[in-house]
Amino acid sequence: MKSWKIGAIAGLIAGLAMGLVIVLITLPIAFKFGLYYWGLPHPPEIPFTKIATNEIISNLILGVIFGSIYSKVYPVIPGKGIWKGLPFGLFGYLAHNVYFAIIFLPYLYLDLATRVIFVGLIDWIVFGLFLGISYEFLHNRYYIAKKEPRIIEYDMKGGIIPGAIAGLIGGIGSFIVTFPIVYFGLWPGIMPEIIDPIFAISQLGTQILIHLIPGFYLGAIYPKVYNLVPRKGITKGLIYGLTASYLFSELRYIIQGIGFGILIFQGFFIWAFDFFSIGLASAIFFGLALGYLYKPPK
């Protein structure tokens, strides 16, 4: 069996475990402390069975995607055996939960930031551990051993400054897409009549700041996986940006937003579209800039 297939199956198992933990443990904790879930009033005015269905299905889908990625980056993940899954899970926490906490805080969504930071950590730890265990078991049982090429890794410090600059440029890309959405009244909770030049400048500064911070750590990781990312130069950076700065961050909300639109009401389709368009723009700008700016040592 091919390595990516093993990763996909292991990710499916880990996604199921993560979904069950969210439904049975972390969401009840969040509801108990009155933390918002998807911006819904608390306690949610929708059946918990629909929330549970959406969570489990979305995490199964994400598990397959992330498990396939795990199989590709496995050689450069620190640790050995089943413990490699934990750093990978913590990267997911960093790329998704910490990223959205950084976004929520300037807009004073303190309860949302609290939930993704403190409650979400449990989810990713469970995902990482189950992924590591499942992958090792399946890999040892079904993978046909072959000599793997040595992956050259570069110093993480070399990616920090290019990553920060690329994050700044990603923030500009996010603003370019965000401003029209807000201006035409498509962003939930913001009325178009409050738009003025000062507001626009403040939003540009906010978008730059919240994308600059992830740019530091995503840029630092780029040299470690540089030779695992396909293509060359700018295209290589774009692929990394779409993976690290989009799949791990925005995709969860897009899938869940679509699921809630189907299961509950259509308003969540707008929310999902916003995450799709804004997140995609910032990831493209970030990836292209990082691909151009980072030069591996010779």
Q: Where are the domains of the chain?
A: 3-142, 156-293
How many other C-beta atoms can be found within 10 angstroms of the C-beta atom of residue 219?
Answer: 28
Token pair 């990616």 is found at 159
pLDDT score of 266: 47
Cis ω before 192 (30° cut-off from 0)? no
pLDDT score of 36: 67
pLDDT score of 172: 92
pLDDT score of 32: 80
pLDDT score of 61: 95
pLDDT score of 12: 97
Distance CA 290, CA 218 (A): 10
> How far does the chain reach from its first CA to its final CA, in angstroms?
36
pLDDT score of 270: 54
Cα dihedral 250, 226, 176, 117 in deg (nearest 10): 40
Q: Which residues of the chain have pLDDT under 50?
A: 263-266
Distance CA 30, CA 22 (A): 10
Strand partners, 40: 37
pLDDT score of 63: 96
pTM of the model: 0.88
- Per DSSP, the three-state class of 25 is helix
Q: Which residues of 98-115 are buried (b: 16+ CB within 10 A; e: fewer)?
A: bbbbbbbeeeebebbbbb
Nearest Cα residue to 203 out of 298, 103, 134: 103
How many other C-beta atoms can be found within 10 angstroms of the C-beta atom of residue 236?
Answer: 19
- Per DSSP, the three-state class of 40 is strand
